[in-house]
Structure 1
């Protein structure tokens, strides 16, 4: 298989999936940052957001990882320092998603609402640095 022929399409799918993944993480981060009170409406909204997360955000994250590893392996970039840093940041972003998913699950189960303030700024900072590394490949 000629990797060069498929590279632009794989990269486009990787970026599109990353946008969907990050959009989901930022959206959940906003919700978890803003929610302060407990009510049946908040729990219902949390349930809707949780379903969206399971159906859209989580598969997008898995596609990002799969395509990222495939593109990185085919391009022989795993020895590049910028990619190592990027992978660590994507792992942090994935961990933030996991924390958010757990918090949504607990809200839906009736646990008291505790804000997850750090998830939103962490997601934004990681995303900006990931984009810079992917485009500029500075080292």
Structure 2
């Protein structure tokens, strides 16, 4: 096989998906080992893994609209368009979806166990995370639309949408750090 086929073909996609599943399994095993070995520090590790998951999810949310901007300019079914489709699907399935799930699971665990769902700042944060999840869903639908060579939004639209995750992230960080209410 040629190198391009290795990067863009189904075998490469399966290997990437397998790596993501293995990584998720390793993550769960590490969290379990930490719980057994260092139960007093478990919450600190949960917080650390939560932050790592948030960073990974945000990286995807910030990069995906950039791919859409360039994909919008590519001719449907062209080689360039097909490359963007693969990039978008892998970013979504291998990085963004697992990171979002880990973020939610660990975040809800922290909200329940550490903060006992108290504090207006926590309710505000959860509201903003729900909005961030809605942006994720919007991007997921766009990935499917691009994959089907369906109707496309303009690059200008995606430039504006690129700012939405950033604004939500700023609000979330301020609520977590400052806890204004």
State whether TM-score is above 0.5.
Answer: yes
Residues 46-100 of structure 1 show CA distances to partners (whole Å, capped at 9, x for unaligned) of 2222122111110100000000000111113412100111111111111101111
RMSD: 1.9
Aligned length: 139
Of the three residues 10, 17, 20, the one matched with 2:56 is: 20
Higher RCO (C-alpha under 8 Å, 6+ residues apart): 1
- Of the structure 1 ranges 128-137 and 38-47, higher mean CA displacement relative to structure 2 is found in 38-47
Query: Is the 2:129–2:172 Cα contact (8 Å) retained in structure 1?
Result: yes
Question: Which stretches of structure 1, 4 residues or longer, exceed 4 Å deviation after superposition?
Answer: 1-4
Of the three residues 149, 157, 162, the one matched with 1:120 is: 162
Of the three residues 53, 68, 71, the one matched with 1:32 is: 68
Measured in 1, the distance between the counterparts of 2:97 and 2:136 equals 8
TM-score normalised by structure 1 residue count: 0.89
Q: Whose helix proportion is higher, 1 or 2?
A: 2
Q: 1:138 to 1:81 in 2, by over 3 A?
A: same
TM-score normalised by structure 2 residue count: 0.70
Of the three residues 52, 73, 81, the one matched with 2:112 is: 73
